[in-house]
Amino acid sequence: MAVMTYLEAISAGLREAMRRDERVFLIGEDIGVFGGAFKVTKGFIDEFGPQRVVDAPLAETAIVGSAIGAAVMGMRPVVEMQFADFVTDAFTQVVNMAAKFHYRNDWCVPVVIRMPYGGGLRAGPYHSSCMEAWFVHTPGLKVVTPATPEDAKGLLLAGIRDDNPVMYFEHKHLYRHVRGEVPDGYYETPIGEAAVRRQGSHLSLFTYGWMVHLALQAAHRAAGEGIEVEVVDLRSLAPMDKEAIAASVARTGKALVVHEATKTGGVGGEIAAFIAEECFESLDGPVVRVASVDTPVPHSPVLEDAFLPGVESIAAAIRKLAAY
């Protein structure tokens, strides 16, 4: 075990995969000589060379298209979107090519697309978005959202080994703000399995990414008021661990869904629909969602704080639902 930041764990996962398998290579903007916008790949070009750490032009559709072609031919590329927002320029390659090739042609497409996403860094509307719902809605893609350094490494390694295209959402706010123990060497965090981060009996809170940490703070605050919240870190959004969701709702009878993405059309709506359809007899209250406001991400610190879910807004939703 070693204590690492979330960013260091991602970097360690990439090194582990590249040292084990020569088919793994990286491609993205400024990832080689510069070491990446966030320095995840700092020093990689010195160890692995420019053939495996490919500095690409500012052309996301070409980057993802090249990676898909390499994956179809037997390589295992890892693409870095400099910011997740920029994946829009490669949308056709992701949703019409990578996601459908296996269904259409029986081809494996083992590509991982790293998606630095989310707010909290005052980066404004073009560098802070949460667009995971777009890809959860696309059959053929796997979507993972690690919240801890251990899972950041383990889900990355699982994604690289997977024969399907994997959208790997890594939260920028967690890069240097969260530290934790990370196992040495190679290991995988199973894709499609949630983790209960806190046990409770009064209500279940389902979330992922940065919001896991805010949810745990809100749950701790609620515990001081006599409300015991079970916090479930989904970790994987496609496939989603519906068995874990149903089991938690059966234990507590109430469900709160928290995500950073804007509310309308977000993943929370899908979770709420599943609970309403499949867990109705377990419910003792409405399914409640806490999410960001339906606007672009503000640049102003004051406005961004008002836009994002926070510990207090989550705690308020906990109190209201617990009292229902």
Domain range summary for the chain, segments of one domain joined by +:
2-182, 195-322
Buried b (16+ CB within 10 A) or exposed e, 128-164: bbbbbbbbbebebbbbbbbbbbbbbbbbbbbbbbbeb
pLDDT of residue 321: 98
pLDDT of residue 241: 98
Q: What is the pLDDT of residues 61-85, one digit of tens each?
A: 999 999 999 999 999 999 999 999 9
Q: What is the pTM of this model?
A: 0.97
pLDDT of residue 254: 98
pLDDT of residue 117: 98
Rounded Cα distance, 77 and 109, in Å:
10
pLDDT band at 174 (very low <50, low <70, confident <90, very high): very high
Direct distance between the N- and C-terminal alpha carbons of the chain, in angstroms, rounded to an integer: 44
Q: What is the pLDDT of residues 10-53, one digit of tens each?
A: 999 999 999 999 999 999 999 999 999 999 999 999 999 999 99
Rounded Cα distance, 230 and 251, in Å:
9
Which residue is catalytic, options 127, 171, 173, 213? 127
Tell me the two tokens of residue 283: 């419910």
pLDDT of residue 151: 98
Contact in structure between 201 and 314 (CB atoms under 8 Å)? no
pLDDT of residue 288: 98
Fold of the domain spanning 195-322 = Rossmann fold (3.40.50)
Whether 127 is a known active-site residue: answer yes
pLDDT of residue 197: 98
Q: Which of 89, 209, 109 is nearest to 152 (CA)?
A: 209
pLDDT band at 291 (very low <50, low <70, confident <90, very high): very high
CA 66 to chain centre: 23
pLDDT of residue 143: 98
Rounded Cα distance, 166 and 146, in Å:
13
Tell me the two tokens of residue 249: 């709702």
Range 297-305 average pLDDT: 96
Range 268-295 average pLDDT: 97
pLDDT band at 253 (very low <50, low <70, confident <90, very high): very high
> Are 2-182 and 195-322 in the same CATH fold?
yes
- Percent of the chain with pLDDT strictly greater than 90: 100
Q: What is the pLDDT of residues 112-146, one digit of tens each?
A: 999 999 999 999 999 999 999 999 999 999 999 99
For the chain, the average pLDDT equals 97
The CATH class of 2-182 is: alpha beta
Strand partners, 54: 27
pLDDT of residue 14: 98
Q: What is the pLDDT of residues 175-228, one digit of tens each?
A: 999 999 999 999 999 999 999 999 999 999 999 999 999 999 999 999 999 999
Rounded Cα distance, 14 and 1, in Å:
17
Contact in structure between 211 and 234 (CB atoms under 8 Å)? no
